[in-house]
Structure 1
Amino acid sequence: MSRLLLHVGHSKTGTSFLQALLRENRSVLARHGYDYPSPSWQENEEENAEVGQGNGLVAAQSPHAMKALLHDHPRPDRGLILSSEEFFPQLATASNPELLGQLAIEAGYDEVSILLAIRDPVSHAASLWMQYVKRAGGTAPLERFFELYSVPDLVLRFLEAYGDQPNVSIKLFNYSRHKANLADRLADWLGLAAQDLNAPKVPTINRGLTRAETALQLALNAEIGRRGRILSDALCSVLPEVTAHAAYPAKSVQVAMLDRLSPTFKRLNMRLETDERYQDTLHEPQTLLPHNETNSLSQHQLKVAGSVLGQEIRNLLKSKVDSASKAPHESLDGTVFTAENSIKGSTEPERGG
């Protein structure tokens, strides 16, 4: 039996780690009858080997792209593995969800097997905001993300669209329960033992920012937008072991979000196994730089530093960023980044790490 295996994310559920795990175990997977092909745009096999990167971004863009990939790629004995966070929003909003299974059957696969990870909402919304600041040039306040957060609605839509199809199976786990054993979740999906897989070379991938790093990043973003990711990329790549800081808004903001999504949680949890269900855990509010915290640089100093550096970088780049540089910034594949669309799926394209 050969399956089309799709790891669809969603975002901020250990995706980078799982993609690094798949990439570094390509030869191991091949011995077990699986194929995890390199991304079509990647020229060098070892390029950014320490960074998790999916191989399914192109196929996720449209049914036509998926059909072309399946047509051109030999069918492995046990399955073809594709991974991209972009699968989740694209498939969840597809006008004809049955088409995915049809394309797989036409290509000779017996079924589509989907690995979907979810995450408890408060920690997920906070993590998405951090990713938005890190990689998308974001400056919108944390509270705005909690007001707009609607990922569970998309999860429900996804499960309703694909959960009952005869030739589609979904393996779902809650990242909040399984953060420490992601390799076990992947191995179980593939029918392997966790010890069969080699650990990624870098154990911490795509970490968050510290309080000071976040304050500096926000100030830089305000001047040069998405180009500001040069700072966070360097910090997270060179210093992956640094402990990040999770920022949470006031509990009243957290409760308002949970109350708004309560009907969705009830419908979703009826579909989920007990251990994987959403939990409405509240977190203590955490600001960027509390007044009682001793820092070598104050938040004001960091803002000034980020602003001055950003202005100089902008001048050096001779870019034509308008005075409202907080406006959306175009991504590598044309996606426009705003607070609104950053929380509804992947916060950025995976091409380029």
Structure 2
Amino acid sequence: MKQLYLHIGLGKTGSSALQSWLSLNAELIARQGIDYADIVPEVKFGESLSGNGIALHHACVDQDFDRIEELLTSTYFFTPGNTVAIVSCELLQGLSLPKIETIKDICNRNAIEVTIVAYVRSVYEWLYSTYVQFVKRASHTHSFGAKSEDLDFAAFHDSLVRYFEVFGERVNVLNYDSAKKDIYSSFAGVTGIATDALKPLNMRVNRSLSFKEVEVLRRINALHNGAFSTQISNFVISQAPDIRSPVYYDAALVERVREDSEVAVQWINNQFALQPPLVADNFSQAPSTAVAVPGKADYEQILEWARAFEPGEAQQQDFVDFLKSFAVVIVKYADGEVLPLIERACTMQSAVDQRDIEEEPPIIARVPLLPRFLVSYFHDVNSAEIHSEDSSFVDRFHVWLDLIAPCAVGNTINPLEDKRVLDGALRKQAGDRPPMSGYSIIEAEDIDTVIALAEKCPLLTIGGVLEVSHVIQLHQGYATKRVESEGGAAG
């Protein structure tokens, strides 16, 4: 039987550093009989890209079961004769219970025993570090604790609960607080890696932000609506890669976290016999000093980035808007820098406008490649079969709309309301037919193809009428070929 170690994080517990280390040493580890598929080699240079398990995560989200099986049986076990493999991706912690069960079922079917590896850390520090990550990558603009989700430990706890429900005692949980000084040895001890001959990772990966950096970047995030969070934070960190990034402690927030996480912390400690035990926080009764409003010196790095950054065409308009907003912020600190920013914004705006003019396609009347057909719907919109809570009509009708969507022109269906009828011969010919409720335009090879689709419409099962008509071009004359389907049978 093969052995798979599935490292799911959890988030902000050294996963990026571990993935960089594993990528750096993938070849040496394979010689020990342990495969780590280096399918995201950029991480060995310090890029934070979610490890080699990102492919498995995508396949699970897409419910691509063949791809999941291929990854678990071939991609991750790639060396002939090796019977141990490691998969790492913190995004896997968010998988739903059915998707976790799918991984287990596929592994069981292929004689692969799975061990889940997860790290946990003191809750308050965990939550603060997660918040800072969102400032860096997801453009958070609020202060820590200003939103309830900042202090919500449930997502981490629920991840462990889901994996425990599926894998039980095969879930190995470790305390990051005690392991972080040598996270590599800790992980190696679980997975059986011999570290003696491996290369050290001589860099700090995915470092957090200082108090001042958080304050500056969350304000800057508000100026670009998330367009440049990653680029700006990476630039700021690159200027001082080894700066300390302590946790910001607020006594009131600490107390809230203690109360809210008590039950979850107890469950984790009891269920996984954690040593040392997980704690709610490492607060020493010394709250952090409030950070002052950023000044000129604090914005200097952002100004340096703004001068040097060259956006691709897709980001140029966002960058123009950012330059203008940033100029307003720094005008009272560095008025000499404002004019160059505005000039750069105007120059780039002119280029964007000119490109839009040049790329605007000429207005050309579209000539259908296939004949077009008008499908008209006639039914009682107040029908009990449609509005009954026990009826499956709505679901069946949406399935039918999905069926015709690939060949529909414009909207799949165009509902009608506020109908006005003019008296005359045409009205009398309609007889007792229900009012017209909508229409679709479909492109198809011939009318018989459209009729075959129309016959599947559930409106026919509740007394509705579908009329299929060939839409002709004026130069072809005015004859219309028409077929009606009524009451569940094609006419």
Tell me which interval the TM-score lies in, with the shorter structure as reference length.
0.7 to 0.9
- Which residue in the other structure is 2:92 paired with? 87
**Contact residue 251 and residue 285 of structure 1 kept, 8 A:** yes
State how 1:152-231 maps to structure 2 within 5 Å: 152-164=156-168, 169-202=170-203, 204-226=204-226, 227-231=228-232
Please state if 1:269 is matched with 2:266: no
The alpha-carbon deviation at position 30 of structure 1 amounts to 0.8
Match for residue 99 of structure 1 among 91, 102, 105: 102
In the alignment, which residue of structure 2 is the partner of 1:9? 9
Task: Give the Cα separation in 2 of the matches to 1:322 and 1:237.
Answer: 25
Picking from 138, 149, 154, the partner of 1:150 is 154
The 8 Å contact of residues 13 and 119 in structure 1, kept in 2 or not, is answered as: yes
What displacement does 1:321 show? 11
Equivalent position SS for 1:95: helix
Equivalent pair of 1:216/1:305 in contact (CA under 8 Å): no
The structure-2 alpha-carbon separation of the partners of 1:164 and 1:321, relative to structure 1 and needing over 3 Å to count, comes to farther
Alpha-carbon distance in 2 for matches of 1:199, 1:86: 25
SS of residue in 2 equivalent to 1:139:
coil
1:49 aligns with: 45
Q: Distance in 2 between matches of 1:304 and 1:201?
A: 30
Which structure: larger Rg? 2
> Are 2:316 and 1:317 aligned?
yes
Distance across 2 between alignment mates of 1:289 and 1:265: 31
TM-score, reference length from structure 1: 0.75
Given that 1:146 and 1:254 are in contact with CA atoms closer than 8 Å, whether structure 2 keeps it comes out as no
Counterpart position of 2:83? 78
Amino acid at match of 1:100: I
Query: Which residue of 2 is the match for residue 59 of structure 1?
Result: 56
RCO (CA 8 Å, sep 6+): is it higher in 1 or 2? Answer: 1
Asked if 2 retains the 8 angstrom alpha-carbon contact of 1:6 and 1:115, the reply is yes
Structure 1 residues 309 and 94, CA gap change in structure 2 (3 angstroms): farther
Query: Could you tell me how far 1:271 is from its partner in structure 2?
Result: 0.9
Residue 136 of structure 1 corresponds to: 138
Stretches of structure 2 that go unaligned for 5 or more consecutive residues are 326-491
Contact 2:122 2:278 in 1 (8 A): yes
Q: Cα 1:306–1:223, aligned 2, differ >3 Å: closer, same or farther?
A: farther
Choose 281-290 or 265-274, whichever is displaced more. 281-290
Between the aligned partners of 2:289 and 2:25, the Cα distance in structure 1 is 39
Q: What is the aligned partner in structure 2 of residue 29 from structure 1? A: 29
- Contact persistence 2:139–2:221 (CA under 8 A): yes
Return the offset for 1:46: 5.8
Q: 2: distance between equivalents of 1:11 and 1:21?
A: 17
* Separation (CA, whole Å) in 1 of partners of 2:209 and 2:102: 40
Tell me the TM-score normalized by structure 2: 0.55
CA deviations over 1:278-313 (Å, ceiling 9, x no partner): 2123424325525xxxxxxx5244787799899998
In structure 2, do the counterparts of structure 1 residues 27 and 262 end up closer, same or farther at CA, with 3 Å as the change threshold?
Answer: same
Contact preservation (8 Å) 1:8, 1:115: yes
Shift of 1:139: 1.1
Q: CA RMSD in A?
A: 3.2
Q: Deviations over 1:145-193 (max 9, x none)?
A: 444342343244235313427xxx2221111121102111111122133
Q: Kindly, what percent of the aligned residue pairs are identical?
A: 21
Is the aligned partner of 1:299 residue 2:300? Answer: no
Cα 1:116–1:105, aligned 2, differ >3 Å: closer, same or farther? same
Per-residue deviation, 1:121: 0.2
Work out the CA distance in 2 between the residues paired with 1:66 and 1:30: 22
Q: 1:321 to 1:99 in 2, by over 3 A?
A: farther
Distance (Å, rounded) in 2 between the aligned partners of 1:71 and 1:235: 41
